[in-house]
Structure 1
Amino acid sequence: MRTFDLSPLFRSTVGFEHLSRMLDAASRLDEQAAAYPPYNIEKLGEDRYRITMAVAGFGDADLEVTAHDHTLIITGKAHRDEAEVQYLHRGIAGRPFERRFELADFIRVDGAALVNGLLHVDLVREVPEQMKPRTIAIETKRSPKVIEGKAA
């Protein structure tokens, strides 16, 4: 079964239409394409994350990191020399790739760095003040105090 019917959920929720789109995208993943390039997702703190991707053979001019509409897109297009190279063994792929990550609400890309063949993309969750939990003061209306039959 490759399809999900989320219509019963949509009867009692508002603003979750992107879940259907996200599940459809996940069901269409090509397993072979999902293996290249390898990556890690780390949790660095309560609201900080890092995606580390092994991009051997790619320079900073060959990589593009784009954040658009709750999606992080990392694209690699290696610029090869035009000279004909004869390989006896080719273990470094260097093939073009596009990797997409769905970002939760309030997650933004904080920066990216290429160090020793690893691309580090730092993410941070910034919840707006109005969305953070807050304590509501409870007011009570006291009845007037009665002393010897007179209202005080």
Structure 2
Amino acid sequence: MEKRINLFFYIVFICYLLCVFLITIPPFFSFQSIEVQELLHFVNIIPLSNNQGGFLSSQDFSQCIMNAIMFVPLGVLLPLTLKRRIRIRYFIFICFGFSLTIEVIQLIGTYSGLLLRSFDVNDILFNTIGGTFTYGFASFIFDCLQKYHYIEKEQAQSLF
């Protein structure tokens, strides 16, 4: 029975990763080469600002919240597939690396003319916050369940 549960978590995790890449990478194709000068219009490296250099508008902020929500499943599924607890600093690094990979793919795709997406440091920031918050919250819940003997120590350690 445990092998079936583990297989289920692996399949759900792979489906989640595929959905993230399908959401973040392909929808816009331009097929035009973009010059470096033009590429700068698709790059935001200043946290909590938009591409025009101003502070985040309500629409920009709602997009940031959606980015955080997109990484919520990562905070639960990654520890369940690894079957062990990860230190929070490593998990932050994993969230950051995964988000940075997506943004770099978008930047390279835009530069090559295959995509018309933007590189935004806010996406990296809020993706990392969303995944890390969920991981911390789930760890806290499992610690509470273990403390009050709703689940055994071995079950808590195998899940989170």
With normalisation by structure 2, the TM-score equals 0.28
Asked which structure has the greater CA Rg, the reply is 1
TM-score calculated relative to the size of structure 1: 0.29
Structure (1/2) with the larger strand percentage? 1
- By relative contact order (CA 8 Å, sep 6+), the higher-ranking structure is 2
